[in-house]
Amino acid sequence: EAGVAQSPRYKIIEKRQSVAFWCNPISGHATLYWYQQILGQGPKLLIQFQNNGVVDDSQLPKDRFSAERLKGVDSTLKIQPAKLEDSAVYLCASSLRQGEDEQFFGPGTRLTVL
Amino acid sequence: QKEVEQDPGPLSVPEGAIVSLNCTYSNSAFQYFMWYRQYSRKGPELLMYTYSSGNKEDGRFTAQVDKSSKYISLFIRDSQPSDSATYLCAMKPHGNNRLAFGKGNQVVVIP
């Protein structure tokens, strides 16, 4: 079974630029999550999708972050404009269905904002 | 007070030693408790999962939950160099998928 795929793996941008990350969950997984993991911290949930609907985006900084999962499969997370404090690893995870306990994580995208 | 406290201090142990990790939490609604292992430049992978209080053993790994003290532990017996990783505790209440993570403990097992 293929795991969660993410791209790019690394990205370096200057502050005020925009950036987008892509995630392809495990086939058949209805629930998709985006997490932000700042160096030395645990992951923090940014947004959760159930199919193509948003379940929880209460911790997403909506003035600069946006995410979509238009066809209920792939998802993109965008930051516009980026700030220095956005430097982090952005992890995508998926689970079979909402309430399913195990979340499978991708390798993450490491973002550096200069 | 953070919901989940995990002392992030790095831990170095000789091969074969017992590794002991723990987390405390403040939210009494947490019912599901997990330990994730994260290798460098990889995503976290689920290592142990426990519901409510009690112990769970899986090979060299033992997870303990004491809800009365709001305290969870992970023990690794006969530690191996391949156990060198960051270990994250995570927990969530019933009916909610939002995991609250600790900061993680970096463990180094020295051959």
Q: Tell me: the pLDDT tens digits for A54-64? A: 999 999 999 99
Q: Cβ contacts (< 8 Å) between A55 and chain B: which residues?
A: 97
Distance from CA of B16 to the nearest CA of A (A): 27
Contact B42 A107 (CB under 8 A): yes
Question: What is the mean pLDDT of the segment spanning B5-29?
Answer: 93
For B94, the token pair is 């019933």
Summarised one tens digit per residue, pLDDT across range A69-103 is 988 899 999 999 999 999 999 999 999 877 667 88
pLDDT beyond 80 at B8: no
CA distance B11 to chain A (A): 14
| pLDDT value of residue A1 | 63
pLDDT score of A23: 97
- What's the confidence (pLDDT) of residue B7? 84
* pLDDT 10s digits, B18-74: 999 999 999 999 999 999 999 998 999 999 999 888 899 999 999 999 999 999 999
Instruction: Find out whether A6 and A92 touch, Cβ atoms under 8 Å.
Output: yes
Phi, psi of A49 (to 5 degrees): -110, 140
Q: In which order are the strands placed within the sheet that holds A19-24?
A: A5-7, A19-24, A75-79, A65-68
- Residue B98 scores a pLDDT above 90: no
Which pLDDT score, from 0 to 100, does residue A107 have? 95
The pLDDT value recorded for residue A72 is 84
Q: Are B49 and A45 a contacting pair at CB < 8 A?
A: no
Q: What angle do CA A20, A25, A30 make, to 5 degrees?
A: 115
Mutation for B interface: A55, A90, A101, most B CBs within 10 A: A101
Q: What gap in Å lies between CA A101 and CA A90, rounded to an integer? A: 21
Are A108 and B45 in contact (CB < 8 Å)?
no
> Among candidates B18, B26, B29, which has minimal Cα distance to B74?
B18
Got the DSSP string for B10-70? -EEEETTPPEEEEEEE--TTEEEEEEEEE-TTS--EEEEEEESSEEEEETTEEEEEETTTT
The residues of B whose Cβ lies within 8 A of any Cβ of A are 4, 6, 8, 32, 34, 41-46, 49, 88, 90, 95, 97-99, 101-104
User: For residues A114 and A11, is the Cβ–Cβ distance under 8 A?
Assistant: no
Residues of chain A contacting B88 with CB distance shorter than 8 Å: 42-43
Please report the pLDDT score of residue A71 as a whole number. 86
